[in-house]
Amino acid sequence: MVRIITKTLADLYYQQGHLKKAYEIYQALSEREPDDKEIQIRLRELGEKLGISTRPEKSSPSTEEKIRALERWLANIRQRKRR
């Protein structure tokens, strides 16, 4: 079974009063797109309405930070191979 997860579907659930379903979709979208502020705002709003504790999560590293970390790992691996 294919599950469609989009902002549009989450918005429709929200507008129809299906807050729990909307929250679940926004949560999945948040994991897929952690930097999308609109998703984060709606997720917090729904969490408050549903009485779900939404603790601030650590911000995920930016793409550039991830690339730098991977480049450092690669440099270390190459250095160890030369030994």
The model's pTM: 0.60
- Give, to the nearest 10 degrees, the angle between helix 19-32 and helix 37-50: 150
- Predicted pLDDT of residue 3: 76
- Is residue 60 a contact partner of residue 34, using CB atoms and an 8 Å limit? yes
- Predicted pLDDT of residue 1: 59
Query: 11-65 pLDDT, tens per residue?
Result: 999 999 999 999 999 999 999 998 999 999 999 999 999 998 655 555 677 888 8
Residues 6 or more apart whose CB falls under 8 angstroms from that of 29 comprise 5, 6, 7, 10, 36, 39
Q: Determine the Cα–Cα distance for residues 36 and 57; give it in Å rounded to an integer.
A: 14
- Predicted pLDDT of residue 37: 93
The SS3 of residue 52 is: coil
Look up the CATH architecture of domain 7-82.
Answer: Alpha Horseshoe (1.25)
Q: What does the domain layout of the chain look like in residue ranges?
A: 7-82
